[in-house]
Chains A and B, each alone.
Chain A
Amino acid sequence: MTVAASLGDLVRDIEDPELPHVTIGDLGIVRSVTIHGATATVLLTPTYTGCPATEQIREDVADAVRSAGLEPDVRLVISPAWSTDWITERGHQRLLAAGIAPPPPADEPGVTFVDPPVACPRCSSRRTRLISHFGGTACKATYVCNACSEPFEFFKAL
């Protein structure tokens, strides 16, 4: 395995500070990891423009690069814009395991004002209802399940 590839794995394995057990690789926000001499350049795509986790992730990535004995150069690129379609299959499974309903495929934003049907991550019932378009973070909405009565978060398609 090349140095860049193993550093890439190290970086992609960093957990998101606000989504326990979901890595930034699972979220699909690591665009590239390249090494030139003693410097490793990591390009990251933020999920939401104002996401407070972004700064933390930047620092965690810089620490990982330093632990590999390289000088970090961590940059944010906003184009192309991040989409929940970039979340990996493993990411979906990990979200579900954490009690968060994973996102459906992202459409053209805002073509409809109808909120999508969401299956409960605990009991799989589709008899759920929207409580709020936002949750503990901008990327999630809050739902409640009519079948098992549990509230849960839904990772919105973006």
Chain B
Amino acid sequence: MKPLLTYTLRQGDRALILAQRLLETITHAPEIEEDMALSNLALDLIGQARALYTYVAEIEGDIDGAVRDENHYAYCREQHEFQNPLLVEQPNGDFAQIIVRQFLHDAYAFPYWRVMQHSTDETLAAIAAKSVKETAYHLRHSRSWLVRLGDGTDESHRRAQAAVDQMWRYTGELFETDEVEQALVSASIAFDPDELRNTWLHTVAGTLTEATLEMPDDVVMQNGGRSGRHSESFSRLIGELQVLARAHPGATW
């Protein structure tokens, strides 16, 4: 049960933290349509996080008998307890950075959910069947923006390339495997991340070419998200996420 708990929690954290970053951009997007798009992406991700955390609460309750709900995992954990990949917590920066972070994530999340529909875990398979449809639109969106920026003006090209160079170092962690993941792969609850990496690389390479952008090579990959080692700006993100719940525990609308 413990590996399933940790694994599901990591996926929930990935969705929640990216949603929180996207929510910071509301009213700051370059055009109103994009403001709506980014907030809709965030809503989908929050929906996915809620489903995953609700399942985590169920698994953890089966282990220790305690009653928790989805909110516990979002609002009542310390920052080192979050196990999201570092990519999704990267600060927003300019619009190119927002789009590149999103694209590198979506190119992972879409094939991830597609394969997870075949998980032997019924709940994860059901969440995957729902999420894959939403994520297909996320990928379409971030992919078309990346092509537009890369193959746009000199300035948008320069910024898009800088964002790719900046974010690339956080992509290796998406495909890392450890004993938690291996336990689930052998039970066909999760799937081989190497295969996922090939699919991801295919999408990313094709899109970068279309966007006239270079794929970085020789980059030292950063990790640590899974062990709760986050970047400095992460503490401010968590602070903002949890401020209301900490100031008024148990508050409702």
Contacts and interface: CB of A to CB of B under 8 A. Distances in A.
> Among B46, B47, B132, which residue has the most Cβ atoms of chain A within 10 A?
B47
Contacts of A137: 40
A89 B17 CA distance: 39
Given A138-B40, A138-B43, A49 B130 contact: yes
Contacts, number: 87
A49 B48 contact: yes
- Please classify how large the interface on chain B is, using the bins under 10, 10 to 19, 20 to 34, 35 or more: 35 or more
> Among B34, B130, B139, which residue has the most Cβ atoms of chain A within 10 A?
B130
Interface stretch (B1-9, B82-90, B140-148): B140-148
Interface of B is mostly: helix
B43 A50 contact: yes
> Among B126, B135, B137, which residue has the most Cβ atoms of chain A within 10 A?
B137
B133 interface: yes
Interface residues of A, number: 28
B154 interface: no
Nearest to A158: B133
Contacts of B143: 113
A138 B44 contact: yes
B223 to A, nearest CB: 28
B70 to A, nearest CB: 12
Contact of B134 (A49, A113, A131): A49
Interface string B105-121: 00000100010000000
26 contacts: A46-B47, A48-B44, A49-B44, A49-B48, A50-B42, A50-B45, A51-B47, A78-B51, A80-B129, A82-B130, A109-B114, A109-B132, A109-B135, A110-B132, A110-B135, A110-B139, A113-B144, A115-B140, A132-B34, A133-B37, A133-B141, A134-B36, A134-B40, A137-B40, A138-B43, A138-B44
Interface of B: 33-34, 36-37, 40-48, 50-51, 110, 114, 122, 125-127, 129-137, 139-141, 143-144
